[in-house]
Structure 1
Amino acid sequence: MQVTETLNEGLKRAYELILTAEELDAKVNTKLKEAQPEVEMKGFRKGKVPMPLLKKQFGQRIMGESMQEAIDEAMSKHFEDSGDRPALQPQVKMTNEDWKEGDNVAVEMSYEKLPDVPELDLSGVEIEKLVVKADDSAVDEALASLAETAQDFKDRKKGTKAKDGDQIVIDFVGKVDGEPFEGGSAEDYPLVLGSNSFIPGFEEQLVGVKAGEEKAVEVSFPEEYGAEHLAGKAAVFDVTVKAVKEPVAAEVDDELAKKFGAEDLAGLKAQIAERLEAEYSGAARQVMKRGLLDELDKLVSFDLPPALVDAEAGQIAHQLWHEENPEVEGHDHPSVEPTEEHRTLAERRVRLGLLLAEIGQKAEVEVTDAEMTQAIMSQARQYPGQERAFFDFVRQNQQMQQQLRAPIFEDKVIDHIAAQAKVTEKEVTKDELQAAVEALDEE
């Protein structure tokens, strides 16, 4: 096949591929001869069907297959010989649309090649890593929060009115049309006011009640209520208030520690300190990663495939539009045109993406099967009861696999770079780390 370059401009390439009629005919004849021994046709013994008849019967289909194979082989050889790596799938089209049997096949192939990424001396990269220790005050603050979640309730003074957050102990009987209904009664029921655990309007009417008080609470069941015989119905609950209790945080002691699976208070504090430092470490890594990417972005400059930049800018603009218009869930909306700001961000992402891919490839960074399985299982937990179906879906969907693999690969490359770079640790406070993390969203 004849291959002639027709465009060489920056990263853009275009070629004319000519498959001569003789080459195509020879390829068709070869395929027919290979198939001839297995062909059966009425009036002929197996394998004895004449070539002209085979060509008449199967020639058109074989010709189409042969064209495609010849073009694919020529493209494969071109990329192998040239070393070009297309940024996106090459565009291929026949240029002689009036082609007929006996003519040469003329095809145009065009693409944007990936650029040559300059090699970096990673030992010269300098980054800062923030370090936060879980001090006593942070541990005590976390302990206080745990104590609140494990809160108890104690009786208020006699005659005290109940308020939001209080627990009232009640007996009640619910009636619709004057008749009690199944499941509408209970005794010694502990209800925290403001918890919204009853139907709308119920708890609000009990704010201000006192122990020993009786009250008729009038409500209506929601139209979409689960029990059809009650949906939309008006009801009256005869309520007797037996106690009004105020919330009190649990004592910070060994008993609290045992509620959270620790042997004693010292063990719980150690667990909390370990958890806090893991959280700090994760946040500090976000800050370090941004700093590392900023540093890499300053150190490299090379041509970028326009098609990749356009696609990334369009994706950024579309995503930001949906963040600004959260009420629009689908994609049935006017087209969103990328701005210069979107394009600048897209150029950075494409440049860093290509750089990280190149560094990862040279360092032979790979995402293991175990890491992929863990990532899939983590995502599957978002679909309770459908984990297996999600797992099977990902296994059959290459695009979804790539979406899960990409961030793992990127993080491993970041770790590889950080291991060779000059890393300076800087001890900061929890608040300073928080401010640094918040600053990431503002950039």
Structure 2
Amino acid sequence: MQVTETQNEGLKRGYEITITAAELEQKVTDKLVEAQPEIEMKGFRKGKVPLPLLKKQFGQRLLGEAMQEAVDGAMAQHFEDSGDRPAAQPAVEMVDGENWKEGDDVKVTMTYERLPDVPEVDFGKIKLERMVVKPAEADVTEALENLAESAQNFEDRKKGSKAKDGDQIVFDFVGKVDGEEFEGGAAEDFALVLGSGQFIPGFEEQLVGVKAGEEKTVEVTFPEEYGAEHLAGKAATFDCTIKAVKAPAKAEINDELATQFGAEDLEALKGQITERLEAEYSGAARAVTKRALLDELDKAVEFDLPEGLVEAEAKQIAHQLWHEENPEVEGHDHGEIEPTDEHNKLAQRRVKLGLYLAEVGQKAEVAVSDSEFTQAVMNQARQYPGQERQFFEFVQQNQQMQQQIRAPLFEDKVVDHIIDNAKVTEKEVSKDDLQKAVEALEDE
């Protein structure tokens, strides 16, 4: 077997691998010898079939397998000897494959871009600022008021008041189609917020203006796509008896409100809100610090980038941004989207920082634990209520999806590793200052 270098330019490498006919024949023979003890053939005892006969019977079938193993072995040996790590799957082609015949040497070409050597950075020389925001009493009060508003109560309006949009009415109703009551069309003491869209279109609008004690017949038509087929598209009437008209009222900020949200009392709820706000501010501040670190690293390290990775990343960026600008196009059967200079510049930054962080993480032996991965999967699964199990199974069976989940976890752990070794000073700022810094990240 012979490996000859044909290209060595920047990160690009090319080689021609020659496997002699004798080497191939020997591999086939070795496979036959290995299998011979288990082979049975008419006229011969088990394990006693002559090699020449086996070669005639199975040699052609084993030749392709031997060829593939020889090429794979040559590639593996090359990467072990050279220390190269390909940036992507090497391109392998057989030379003059159409004219190749048994007894000829096998020649294949292998081309790839190697991962670059990444320079080291003295993290101790990196200076970063971490914004610190302490929740103010006003922030806690604002959060409490929002909770009180979400825990909305309703209080009876004055006698004779007409129901407005947003009011709650308590009423009995009986639904009929063609004068006959239908199953599931009646209820007593039903509480309905007008304008909530809880009932079919046209129903709630007709109850705006009703008073407690009033009786009203609502006339509607069920939508054609209504879930119950026997009602779909049918005209119906609902005889309604209004029992109460109630106006929305914000809940009191007290111990009772606290218990609605699982806290022991109001002070405990305030403590929970403070902790949540601290976590939110800390997460936002970390995002600002992370961007500052990546900017510093982008300036501090320079090395050759694999053109193939940059090109693929630029195309992905262009494709993603195009779909964000054209949300009405759901499929991917559109024409090719050509990356701009801006896309290419962003791709170069992402590839450079990605390769750098990967190298730092490998040297620092950073790893994503099984529990961290499982927690991340659980967090994503919550986005699919009722389908959590299917999502878990999809992730288990999809290596690419697993990598998509692990990659950001790994990156964050590497970033934390660098920050822990950098010179970080804390600066107490206001919530507004932090908000402006976060908005600046989104604008870039």
Shorter-chain TM band: over 0.9
Quick one: distance in 2 between partners of 1:243 and 1:391? 47
Question: Quick one: distance in 1 between partners of 2:264 and 2:384?
Answer: 34
Offset at residue 260 of structure 1 (A): 1.7
1:431 aligns with: 432
Provide the rounded CA distance (Å) in 2 between the counterparts of 1:394 and 1:298. Answer: 37
Q: What are the Cα deviations for residues 314-337 of structure 1, in whole angstroms up to 9, with x where unaligned?
A: 111111111112222221222211
- Equivalent residue for 1:373? 374
Does structure 1 residue 270 correspond to structure 2 residue 279? no
5 Å matches for 1:200-279?
A: 200-279=201-280
Distance in 1, matches of 2:430 and 2:234, equals: 56
Query: How big is the shift at 1:147?
Result: 0.8
Q: Are the counterparts in 2 of residues 250 and 256 from structure 1 also a CA contact under 8 Å?
A: yes
Correspondence for 1:130 = 131
Identity percentage over the alignment? 74
Provide the C-alpha distance between the structure 2 equivalents of 1:63 and 1:238, rounded to a whole number of angstroms: 84
Taking the aligned partners of 2:37 and 2:184, their CA distance within structure 1 comes to: 79
Higher mean displacement: 188-197 or 81-90? 188-197
How is 1:133-148 mapped onto 2 (pairs within 5 angstroms)?
Answer: 133-148=134-149
| 1:96–1:105 Cα contact (<8 Å) kept | no
Which shifted more, 91-100 or 238-247?
238-247
Deviation string, structure 1 residues 29-67 (Cα, Å, up to 9, x no partner): 222222222221111112221221111111112211111
Number of the residue aligned with 2:388: 387
| Whole-angstrom distance in 2 between the partners of 1:169 and 1:335 | 58
Task: Tell me what 2:103 maps to.
Answer: 102
Aligned letter for 2:308? A
Q: Which amino acid aligns with 1:40?
A: E
Equivalent residue, structure 2, for 1:115: 116
Name the structure 2 match of 1:18.
18
Task: State the Cα distance separating 1:431 from its structure 2 match.
Answer: 2.1
CA distance in 2, matches of 1:261, 1:397: 38
What amino acid maps onto 1:18 in structure 2? Answer: T
Q: How big is each residue's C-alpha offset from its partner over 1:142-188, in whole Å with a ceiling of 9 and x where there is no partner? A: 10111112222112223322212111122222221122222222222
Tell me by how many angstroms 1:380 deviates: 2.7
Residue aligned with 1:322, SS: helix
Q: Which has the larger displacement, 384-393 or 340-349? A: 384-393
Q: Which segment drifts farther, 403-412 or 165-174?
A: 165-174
Partner amino acid, structure 1, of 2:256: E
1:432 shift after superposition:
2.1
Residue 362 of structure 2 aligns to a residue whose secondary structure is helix
For residue 25 of structure 1, report the CA deviation from its aligned partner.
1.5
Q: TM-score, normalised by structure 2?
A: 0.97
Deviates more, 1:58-67 or 1:297-306: 58-67
| Alpha-carbon separation, structure 1, partners of 2:433 and 2:211 | 47
Letter of the structure 2 residue corresponding to residue 390 of structure 1:
F
Structure 1 window deviating more from structure 2 (22-31 vs 379-388): it is 379-388
Which runs of no fewer than 5 residues in structure 2 stay unpaired? none
Q: Which moved more, 1:426-435 or 1:376-385?
A: 376-385
Q: Which moved more, 1:148-157 or 1:299-308?
A: 148-157
Q: How much is the aligned-residue C-alpha RMSD, in angstroms? A: 1.4
Equivalent position of 1:162 in the other structure: 163
- Find the aligned partners of 1:261 and 1:389 in 2 and give their Cα distance: 30
Q: How does 1:409-428 map to 2 (within 5 A)?
A: 409-428=410-429
Aligned to 1:49: 49
CA shift, 1:412, in A, is 0.4
Corresponding residue for residue 81 of structure 2 = 81
Measure, in 1, the Cα distance between the counterparts of 2:125 and 2:183: 75
- The answer for unaligned runs of 5 or more in structure 1 is none
Q: Which residue of 2 aligns with 1:298?
A: 299
Question: Could you say which residue in structure 2 is the equivalent of 1:58?
Answer: 58
* Deviations 1:231-284 (CA, angstroms, capped at 9, x unpaired): 111112222222221111111111211222222211111111111111111111
Deviation string 1:207-248 (CA, Å, 9 cap, x unpaired) is: 222223332221111112121111111112222222221111
- Alignment match, 2:174: 173
**Counterpart in the other structure of 1:338:** 339
| C-alpha separation in 1, matches of 2:175 and 2:141 | 45
The one-letter amino acid of 2:17's match is: L
**1:186 equivalenced with 2:183 (yes/no):** no
TM-score of the pair, normalised by structure 1: 0.97
Shift of 1:87: 0.2
2:74 partner amino acid: A
Q: Which amino acid aligns with 1:250?
A: A
Following superposition, which runs of at least 4 residues in structure 1 exceed 4 angstroms of deviation?
none
SS of the aligned residue for 1:330 comes to coil
Specify the code of the residue in structure 2 equivalent to 1:276: L
Is this contact kept in 2: 1:17–1:106, CA < 8 A?
yes
Report the AA paired with residue 156 of structure 2. Answer: D
Which residue number in structure 1 is paired with residue 398 of structure 2? 397
What is the aligned residue count?
443
Greater alpha carbon shift after TM alignment, 250-259 vs 415-424:
250-259
Instruction: Give the aligned partner of residue 9 of structure 1.
Output: 9
Note if contact 1:172-1:237 (Cα within 8 Å) is conserved in structure 2: yes
Shift, 1:393, TM fit: 3.0
| Whole-angstrom distance in 2 between the partners of 1:401 and 1:389 | 15
Provide the rounded CA distance (Å) in 2 between the counterparts of 1:396 and 1:184: 45
